[in-house]
Chain A
Amino acid sequence: MVLIQHTWQFFLSHSHQVVKATLQQLYLVGIPMGLAVIVAIPLTILSTRVKALYGPVIWFANAMQTIPSLALLALMIAMGMGIGTVPAVVALFLYALMPIVRNTYVGIQGVDEGVKDAARGMGVTTWQLLLIVELPLALRVIIAGVRSALVATVGFATLAALIGAGGLGNLIMEGMGMASNSIVLAGTIPAIILAFLADGVMGRVEKALTPRGLRV
Chain B
Amino acid sequence: MAGSLLKFENVGKVYPDGTRAVSQFTLDIHQGEFVVLIGPSGCGKTTTLRMVNRLIEPSSGTILLDGQDFRQVRPVELRRRLGYVIQRIGLMPHLSIADNITFVPKLKKVSQKARRSRAYELLELVGLEPSAYMDRYPNELSGGQQQRIGVLRALAHDPDIILMDEPFGALDPLMREQLQEEVKRLQRAVSKTIIFVTHDMDEALTMADRIVLMREGEIVQVGTPEEMLRRPKDAFVTQFIGRHRMLRQASEVTVDEVMLTHPVTVPADLGLARSLDAMRRRRVDSLLVVQRDGSFCGVVRLPLVQDAMNLGRECGVGELAETCKTLCPQDLVLEAMHIMLEGQPSGVPVVDESAHVVGLVTRGTLVGLLGDALKRAHEAESPSTETADQWA
Interface residues of A (CB under 8 A from B): 112-125, 128, 133, 136-137, 211-214
Contacts and interface: CB of A to CB of B under 8 A. Distances in A.
Given A115-B91, A128-B107, A133-B92, A213 B137 contact: yes
B204 interface: no
B334 interface: no
B90 interface: yes
B84 interface: yes
Contact of A113 (B77, B88, B137): B88
- A-B CB proximity, top 6 nearest: A114-B88, A118-B90, A213-B137, A123-B79, A211-B94, A121-B84
A117 B85 CA distance: 10
A177 B93 CA distance: 56
Interface in B118-163: 137-139, 150, 153, 163
Interface residues of B, number: 29
B137 A212 contact: yes
A133 to B, nearest CB: 7
Given A213-B93, A213-B94, A214-B93, A123 B88 contact: no
B86 A123 contact: no
Nearest to B140: A213
A123 B78 contact: yes
B84 A115 contact: no
A116 to B, nearest CB: 8
Given A213-B94, A213-B138, A122 B79 contact: yes
Contacts of B1: none
Interface of B: 53, 55, 75-80, 84, 86-96, 103-104, 107, 137-139, 150, 153, 163
Contacts of A112: 88, 90, 93
A120 B79 contact: yes
Nearest to B108: A123
Contacts of B76: 123-125
Given A120-B55, A121-B84, A137 B93 contact: yes
A133 B103 CA distance: 11
B93 to A, nearest CB: 5
Tell me which of A124, A133, A212, A213 has the highest count of chain B C-beta atoms within 10 A of its own C-beta: A213
Contact of B96 (A117, A122, A213): A213
Summarize B's interface: helix, strand, loop or mixed: mixed
A122 B104 contact: yes
B94 A136 contact: yes
A214 to B, nearest CB: 6
Nearest to B76: A123
Contacts of B80: 122-123
Contact of B84 (A113, A118, A125, A211): A118
Given A114-B90, A118-B84, A213 B95 contact: yes
Among A113, A116, A121, the most chain B Cβ lie within 10 Å of the Cβ of: A121
Contact of A122 (B93, B94, B107, B138): B107
Contacts of B137: 212-213
B91 A118 contact: yes
Contacts of A120: 55, 79
A30 B40 CA distance: 59
Contacts of A128: 107
A113 B89 CA distance: 10
